[in-house]
Structure 1
């Protein structure tokens, strides 16, 4: 397996047959989603001419060509552009979550930003981007590669709001139970770059912008022909912002966080006038959409077909509390295996989306983890009643929550394995220490950077019961 680096360890315990099936589906899916291959398939240089899909640019007419990148899939996206442009690239800046030893760039400097909470290095890199744009002009070309996570990694708050204010705001919102769209409504409206503000700066100096994006937004349709520019692109910081100031205010009110957010943020958002709204259209920019959230389920289903296993896409809209989702999927597995509803075993159920974990009191946190890990721990408790049932839940970009693992994989034997080691899965959920529990039973999934970022990917395999069992 190319993408799942610790597959051997994951197959050293548990229901090995079920685990092998789930891990192979995941590996095949992640390989197809890798943005390096996606970009290289549509982008090339022929002399002075840059061709991307159905469009071409004569770079001999450009004074400078700059590459900006941010996001959890930025490593592979930026490398693809950097490798294609070669000496044609004037300078590149990429803000990544994890800098891998295998990353190789020619003219791009890499900065490790903070995620899920912003940090000083991401802030400094963002300021460098602003400085470059402010000295650019109509003869310059900017190529931007953006994936999920850019809101935290490209941290650059507006004047009057400090970096610490932005960090505290992000921390409170992530633990409030708010969805990612609601969280972003706040973050985008206090940023000098997000919410389309980077694109606006480039537009203001008259330079041209080409954008590559991966959309991890729940509700985006599956991609079609990625070689054709995407007219309806709505991914910030390089595209128009679909959220509004009113959305930001509603998030503060609906989740009752005004007294926990920094005063500077609340005062600004509650009093900002229409002139502080984020930009809503960039008709002159050229965008290419590489992947969207439903693609992971589509590719996973195709992988299942290649392996001869019936598969159903349950939903690509999965949201809500992660542990509840884990219990629900375990209940589905039991229904399928026992009664054949809504499909007969053996089968695979696929889902994607973005579940969350609500933490109202930081004092309850005793370890590390993330939504995918909590989902698989919760699944393990109920799935003990369904022989061979196995769930993998990962954040497709390679890191889930506060742990440097992609997520977890558990099966019907995991509860017994944990108990045998003196580990309480119930306590792990209460104390948000699911990484420690999964790691102890060989069930934490490690991928490193995958080259994509399509939120959660959940693969549930349900075997048929042997006759007489």
Structure 2
């Protein structure tokens, strides 16, 4: 699963951390998640503790996201011929052949949406609109769905939406902010999908969002929206982008604020009465699996947080400070101990390098690690893709720092250029998994040993 694991496993402590990462990814496989949480008993679909009699004329499957193709494969295993038809949009970098039966897989780009995504959404809607009150639509939603399911709204072009996405990502907007804006320039997000469908809907969701905000995961296709056009404008202005986005986007947002364009549907809207939204897995699930792995291997382990946020390089310094405190003073915990942190940081892009939030976090932490430190820190994106690189993340320990000191490498130069991937490639501490097919946010592991 970690393609370069043998090269990275330069001691037993490193191998333990890498084994823990692999165990987390194995447990977060979307197929396993669906098969563990969705059962068919006679004619009853059981999803966690929810029971649904399948007395429907037809069952359609739609959706999109990084994990949604694998979710579709598992659902096809469960429902088989009960599925009438389906279309799910997946990233174009997934090349694995999946057995999804009557559910067609449609490929589009991520994180910047493309025309294939728009075409896929149109075909998905054509299919789903065949369903009426006697039918069921199962929507498979996972992280990445916002980019994979674009449907520009009210005269906004795809190119304008692409540029807005680039501007917000490079400015360091977090996923909540990015999706608040996306919802208000989309024909299907922010609950607008439900306005287009007149049927029973079950959304099966793998969350990649801190605190599992349903209205943020894939920009809230099937849930009421708590945000407004005014919120969207404030976010764009926060990053000094209002005069950089297109006239069409400004027009739609301003008209929405004035009430000339209808707001996204809000809580208590009756259109949601036949909709069930069910989260099957999230970042907390991944963190618990990491903790269990260490405990099962005789190492005390604690979850620091499942809501890790902030500028990646600042968060890296905080986590390194905690590791140093335990390493040098056995407080607040005695070593050996493993610490787990889940969530999603961000990078305010200033340079022209290659990297991502996980690699930048790890590189920044390396500044506070010395050649005698007895701790390891690794951080990955569970989707296997960190930023604009082909890596999942990176790992550091005293061997890393020794190499840096011996070769007189200036860490600050790489941080200034947001070039963490080049740094870790050069020294051989980048973690490669390839696309994992899942997405439950990021996970950071710190192992302080004796």
What is the TM-score when the length of structure 2 is the normalising length?
Answer: 0.91
Say if 1:233 and 1:287, in contact at 8 Å, map to a contact too. Answer: no
Q: Among residues 332, 349, 363, which one is paired with 1:377 in the alignment? A: 363
Q: Among residues 270, 274, 280, which one is paired with 1:284 in the alignment? A: 274
Say if 1:75 and 1:99, in contact at 8 Å, map to a contact too. Answer: no
Q: Which residue of 2 aligns with 1:336?
A: 326
Alpha-carbon separation, structure 1, partners of 2:418 and 2:242: 25
> Larger RCO: Structure 1 or Structure 2 (Cα < 8 Å, ≥ 6 residues apart)?
1
Alpha-carbon separation, structure 2, partners of 1:299 and 1:165: 41
Q: Which residue of 2 aligns with 1:139?
A: 134
Written as runs of structure 1 = structure 2, the 5 A alignment for 1:26-425 is 26-45=21-40, 50-53=45-48, 54-58=50-54, 61-62=56-57, 64-97=58-91, 98-202=93-197, 206-220=198-212, 235=217, 236-272=220-256, 273-274=258-259, 276-281=262-267, 282-360=272-350, 364-366=351-353, 368-418=354-404, 424-425=410-411
Alpha-carbon separation, structure 2, partners of 1:436 and 1:108: 40
Alpha-carbon separation, structure 2, partners of 1:280 and 1:41: 32
Alpha-carbon separation, structure 1, partners of 2:228 and 2:212: 19
Q: Among residues 16, 21, 41, which one is paired with 1:21 in the alignment? A: 16
After TM superposition, the structure 1 stretch with the greater mean CA deviation from structure 2, 264-273 or 389-398, is 264-273
Say if 1:36 and 1:451, in contact at 8 Å, map to a contact too. Answer: no
Q: Which residue of 2 aligns with 1:467?
A: none
Alpha-carbon separation, structure 1, partners of 2:291 and 2:42: 40
Change in Cα spacing, 1:396 to 1:389, as seen in structure 2 (3 Å) is same
Change in Cα spacing, 1:302 to 1:46, as seen in structure 2 (3 Å) is closer
Alpha-carbon separation, structure 1, partners of 2:216 and 2:53: 23
Say if 1:415 and 1:425, in contact at 8 Å, map to a contact too. Answer: no
Say if 1:142 and 1:208, in contact at 8 Å, map to a contact too. Answer: yes
SS in 2 for 1:392: strand
Alpha-carbon separation, structure 1, partners of 2:404 and 2:96: 34
What stretches of structure 1 of length at least 5 have no aligned partner? Answer: 222-231, 465-469
CA shift, 1:68, in A, is: 1.2
Say if 2:215 and 2:225, in contact at 8 Å, map to a contact too. Answer: no
Change in Cα spacing, 1:380 to 1:7, as seen in structure 2 (3 Å) is same
Change in Cα spacing, 1:312 to 1:101, as seen in structure 2 (3 Å) is same
Say if 2:377 and 2:395, in contact at 8 Å, map to a contact too. Answer: yes
Q: Deviations over 1:59-99 (max 9, x none)?
A: 5x41x322112112223212111222223323222222231
SS in 2 for 1:276: coil
What is the TM-score when the length of structure 1 is the normalising length?
Answer: 0.87
Q: Deviations over 1:336-393 (max 9, x none)?
A: 1111121122111111111000025xxx313x21100111122223213552321111
Change in Cα spacing, 1:340 to 1:23, as seen in structure 2 (3 Å) is same
SS in 1 for 2:88: strand
Alpha-carbon separation, structure 1, partners of 2:161 and 2:391: 25
Alpha-carbon separation, structure 2, partners of 1:233 and 1:285: 14
Alpha-carbon separation, structure 1, partners of 2:403 and 2:105: 41
Kindly report the root-mean-square deviation, in angstroms, between the aligned alpha carbons of the 2 structures: 2.3
CA shift, 1:130, in A, is: 2.1
CA shift, 1:420, in A, is: 5.7
Alpha-carbon separation, structure 2, partners of 1:415 and 1:94: 45
Alpha-carbon separation, structure 1, partners of 2:356 and 2:299: 29
Q: Deviations over 1:226-254 (max 9, x none)?
A: xxxxxx88741122223222221221222
Alpha-carbon separation, structure 1, partners of 2:147 and 2:263: 20
Say if 1:69 and 1:78, in contact at 8 Å, map to a contact too. Answer: no
Alpha-carbon separation, structure 2, partners of 1:159 and 1:420: 58
After TM superposition, the structure 1 stretch with the greater mean CA deviation from structure 2, 238-247 or 301-310, is 238-247
Number of aligned residues:
440
CA shift, 1:48, in A, is: 5.5
Q: Which residue of 1 aligns with 2:7?
A: 9
